[in-house]
Every structure is written in C-alpha cells, then in structure tokens.
C-alpha cells in the first residue's frame, strides 16, 4: 500500500475494486466503514455484490476483465471536465500527453459497451473520485489476477497521478496484501528477480554486496515464478521443488496440470504447519511452527513492522521456518546460517536492505514503523511519494484495453470468476480444520444469476457439473441477483471441488506472470436427481 491502513478512516472517497474487503480483509473493511460514517463516499466496482458492495454509496458490476476500459473511461471524463490536478501533473509526473491521447477514444458510450457500467454512473464516480479532498484506491486480486494485471495496476496509478490523489495522507493506490505477511515475504525476496528490499538480482553492484555478506557466488540470473516453475517441471527443466507454506495443488490454476507436475518432479519437499494436499505428494515433509509458536517479525500490508512473540512451544517436531531453513543450509555445507535467534536475522536484513536500514528490534518493540526507514533517526513512512516518486517523476503509461484470454463461446458459454468467502482462508489448510468455520460453510457452490438458473432449470441447492477446457467439478447452486447474467462465481477454498480445476494456467500476465484466475470460460450442466 502506498498509504497506511489507519489513514483510510480519514479519506473522503474510497474507490474499492477487485477487493472483497469485508471477507478477505475485515479489519481494513472496518476502517472503511468508519470512514463512511464520517461522511466518506464509498464506491465499489466489482462483478459481485459483496458485503462491502452492499454497504457502498455506489456499486457497479463491470464485465469481467474490463478494468483498463473503465479506468481509461474515468480519465477521459476527468480530462473532458477539467477535473485533473494540472499542477501535480506538471510538477510531479511525465508522460501525461501520451496518456491523454490514449484515453481520448474511451468515450463514456464506448466504455459502457465494453464494461457494462452505465455512462452516467461512470461520470458520477469520476467526479467524486477527482473532486474529493483525499481519495484512496483500494484493490486486491480482482485487479491483479488477469492477463492485464500489470496494465490494470498501472492504469490505477495513472488515475491517481492524474488527479493528484497520491503522496498525501488518506490517498494513494493501495493493494491489500494477503495473510499477515505476504508483504513481508516479498520484502524478503520470495520473488525471483530481487534480493531483500526489492534490490535487483541483475544489478552487479548489489549482487557483489550480497556475495560479500553471504560468503559465496550468487546467480546473476532472474529465477522462475510459481506458475513458471510448474511449467518448467513439465518441460523437464526443473527437477527439485521446495515449497514453504503454500498449497499449489489447490491454489494454482489448472490443478490437473499442477498435480501431474508434482507427481513428475524428481524431488519434492513441503514445509507447512498441516499436511496439505500438496504435502501429501511430497518426498519429504518438514513440520513448520505456527505464528503462536515462534518469535520474529511480520510486515503488514502497509509496510509496517510487527513483532510476534512465542505464546507456546512448538508442538510435536515442529520448528520455526527460519530454523528449518538454517538446518538445511548447514546440512548442505553452507556458511552463514549460525543465527542464534530471529533478532540476528533481522539485524542482517537491516544491514543489507536500505528500506529496512533504520529498523531494529528495540525500535519496532516501541514504535510504529512503516518502511522505508533509512536510518535510526528516520521515523519511517506511513505514506509514500510525499516529495517525489522512487524514480523521480511519476511515469504515466498509456494503456489500451485488451479482452481476457479466454472468452465464452458456444461450447463454454459462461464466464467464471473465482474468489473467497469470509469463513475460509485460501486453500483451507488452516480454516477447514476449525469446527466453527466448517460449521458455517464446508462445501463449494456456484453463484448463478436467476435468469441463467432458470434457463438451466436449476434452483438453489440443486447440483450442477461445471466444466472448462481443463477439467470438471460438481457443486451446488446458489441463485443470486448479486452477479451479472452470464457470469458465475465459485469460491476456491474447497479441494474436493476445486475451482482451480477449471481455471486457466496457460494465460499469464506477460510481465508479472500472474495467471488469469478471475476469468475463464465454462459450461454448466444440471445433474438430475438420480445421478446426484
């Protein structure tokens, strides 16, 4: 997030898109509700009437994968009406003319045709977002999990820069990161092209710094992303895989393809707190410790350091992940794994990572610190880009709308989008073992529009077979007006009827390599009583 979570409470306008905030980030939703009670306008652009959508001042259901079009459409209207922040554009950004040209063709009429958002509503959203004192954009996987994921994010950045709704409190472009520590794991460089703190692996100077610190040669090459790894197994290029705290058999797209790859890979290690579907395929399972069984730090979605303290000793043979990794490192004969505790790991990190440089255990014990925190006197950065962007001037990027990779056709006439429920987390590893949560929901279902349900001759509670080019699952039906005609939704938490049997792993964002979980083509068939 460019801005910190508490700042949301003081926003005048919050534009939420592709985030089921009340389900996936309920405590952030609670800040948004507070802001609304203080008079903020809440706008939700989402294909489903989620809980947060039902509480919003404006909710529109865009067509799946049409995000670049409506964002360009908002910019088109803002420029036509002169609502842009020209001094911000002139002083703080570059590339404005190109974007101005690019959005010229996105007239409200054209945008309505692509996105399904009525042109009057689009104008209303543009006016509220541009003219409010502090407008904040909140987004999540509904924006990123498309072949145009990077384009979608850049478009939101264009919109924020156009209106100067960034670099001030309660504004910004705010992706809500998952779990308690997805931000932390990317900070730690659990991404293939960076060293900790987003330092490029291809930069020789940086590589030398880490070679010196870690006492050995390091690869100058960018590695593989998760989805690329699975594909590389299939191509025979990847022989061993070590998975920590992930359950790709349920969470990755096209599960049938993932399952085959995990069976084909020569050596599979899985480290987790429970025996996941993926761990069952492993040659070696290493028991990790849960949050309550270890000391350390997390980095929250707003770049805030959070210290955690061990409440109980790890159960059974479990150990904290860092300890297991050090043991493996030592067993492989590497030096530099002699950390007595997580504190020394953090110290090394702060030493080598400019954005963490000013943080230490004593400070984060007492102070609220958001990175970047460059030295001991730096109070940290609740919001970014106050006086300038990381690269100097903010770069506008002209972006054209591209349709999703797989569109409905005669054989697969429906569009599927996937997402979450409030009662389960991700692949259910942690939540489907909870009696109170499984009491709420313990079965996948498909949301269908009443007209589609009627045409298929199914009612809520009836069973259907849902198939895509990749696979097929059986689920119950939930008829709802909360979704557009022709669109279906399945929560992906349930391994036995995994929505990811259906999703498309072949279509990736060309830059981020994120798969298009949020759109694919499906067919739906009624299962009659006898068969069920």
Q: By CB under 8 A, name the binding residues for another protein.
A: 22-23, 26-27, 29-30, 33-34, 37, 51, 54-55, 309, 365-366, 421-423, 436, 439-441
Q: Are 522 and 488 in contact (CB under 8 A)?
A: yes
Give me the least distance between CB of 31 and another protein, in Å please.
10
Q: Which is nearer to another protein, 441 or 527 (CB)?
A: 441
Beta bridge partners of 243: 270
Q: Which is nearer to another protein, 309 or 402 (CB)?
A: 309
Give me the least distance between CB of 129 and another protein, in Å please.
23
What is residue 41's three-state secondary structure? Answer: strand
Cα-Cα-Cα-Cα dihedral sign, residues 357, 361, 367, 368: positive
CB atoms within 10 A of CB 514: 21
Give me the least distance between CB of 358 and another protein, in Å please.
20
Q: Which is nearer to another protein, 52 or 126 (CB)?
A: 52
Give me the least distance between CB of 32 and another protein, in Å please.
10
Q: Which is nearer to another protein, 80 or 310 (CB)?
A: 310
Q: How does 217-247 read in b/e, with b if 16+ C-beta sit within 10 Å?
A: eeeeeeeebbbbbbbbbeeeebeebebebbb
Give me the least distance between CB of 34 and another protein, in Å please.
6
- Taking the C-alpha atoms of residue 410 and residue 516, their distance in angstroms, rounded to an integer, is 21
Closest among 279, 382, 375, 378 to 5, alpha carbons compared: 382
Question: What is the radius of gyration, based on Cα positions, of the chain?
Answer: 24
Beta bridge partners of 504: 516
| DSSP output for 181-205 | THHHHHHTT-STTEETTTEETT-HH
Q: Which is nearer to another protein, 362 or 457 (CB)?
A: 362
Q: Which is nearer to another protein, 83 or 298 (CB)?
A: 298
Give me the least distance between CB of 219 and another protein, in Å please.
39
Give me the least distance between CB of 54 and another protein, in Å please.
7
Beta bridge partners of 288: 319
Q: Which is nearer to another protein, 147 or 421 (CB)?
A: 421
Structure tokens at 195: 């060293």
């Amino acid at each position: 997030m460019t801005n910190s979570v508490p700042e949301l409470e003081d926003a005048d306008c919050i534009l939420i898109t592709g985030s089921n905030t009340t389900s996936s980030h309920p405590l952030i939703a609670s800040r948004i509700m507070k802001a609304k009670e203080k008079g903020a306008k809440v706008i939700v652009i989402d294909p489903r009437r989620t809980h947060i959508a039902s509480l919003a001042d404006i909710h529109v259901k865009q067509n799946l994968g049409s995000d670049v079009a409506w964002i360009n459409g908002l910019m088109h209207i803002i420029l036509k009406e002169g609502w842009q922040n020209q001094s911000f554009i002139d002083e703080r950004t570059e590339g404005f003319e190109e974007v101005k040209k690019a959005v010229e063709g996105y007239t409200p009429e054209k945008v309505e045709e692509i996105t399904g958002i009525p042109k009057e509503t689009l104008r209303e959203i543009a006016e509220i977002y541009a003219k409010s004192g502090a407008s904040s954009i909140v987004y999540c996987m509904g924006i990123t999990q498309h072949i145009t994921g990077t384009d979608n994010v850049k478009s939101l950045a264009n919109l924020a820069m156009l209106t100067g709704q960034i670099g001030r409190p309660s504004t910004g472009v705010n992706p809500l990161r998952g779990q308690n520590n997805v931000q932390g794991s990317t900070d730690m460089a659990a991404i293939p092209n960076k060293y900790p703190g987003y330092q490029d692996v291809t930069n020789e100077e940086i590589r030398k710094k880490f070679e010196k610190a870690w006492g050995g040669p390091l690869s100058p090459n960018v590695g593989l992303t998760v989805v690329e790894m699975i594909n590389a197994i299939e191509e025979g290029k990847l022989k061993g895989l070590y998975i920590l705290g992930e359950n790709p058999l349920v969470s990755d797209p096209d599960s049938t393809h993932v399952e085959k790859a995990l069976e084909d890979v020569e050596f599979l290690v899985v480290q987790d707190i429970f025996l996941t579907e993926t761990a069952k395929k492993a040659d070696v399972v290493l028991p990790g410790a849960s949050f309550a069984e270890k000391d350390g730090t997390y980095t929250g979605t707003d770049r805030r350091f959070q210290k955690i303290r061990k409440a109980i000793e790890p159960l059974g043979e479990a150990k904290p992940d860092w300890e297991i990794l050090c043991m493996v490192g030592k067993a492989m004969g590497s030096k530099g794994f002699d950390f007595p505790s997580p504190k020394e790991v953090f110290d090394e990190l702060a030493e080598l990572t400019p954005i963490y440089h000013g943080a230490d255990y004593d400070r984060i014990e007492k102070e609220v610190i958001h990175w970047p925190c460059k030295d001991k006197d730096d109070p940290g950065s609740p919001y970014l880009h106050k006086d300038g962007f990381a690269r100097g001037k903010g770069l506008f990027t002209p972006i054209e709308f591209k349709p999703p990779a797989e569109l409905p056709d005669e054989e697969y006439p429906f569009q599927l989008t996937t997402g979450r429920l409030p009662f389960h987390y991700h692949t259910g590893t942690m939540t489907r073992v909870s009696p109170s949560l499984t009491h709420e929901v313990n079965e996948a279902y498909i949301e269908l529009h009443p007209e589609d349900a009627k045409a298929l001759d199914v009612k809520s509670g009836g069973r259907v077979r849902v198939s895509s080019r990749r696979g097929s699952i059986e689920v119950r039906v939930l008829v709802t007006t909360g979704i557009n005609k022709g669109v279906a939704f399945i929560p992906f938490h349930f391994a036995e009827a995994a929505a990811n049997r259906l999703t498309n792993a072949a279509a990736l964002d060309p830059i981020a390599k994120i798969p298009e979980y949020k759109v694919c083509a499906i067919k739906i068939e009624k299962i009659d009583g006898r068969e069920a």
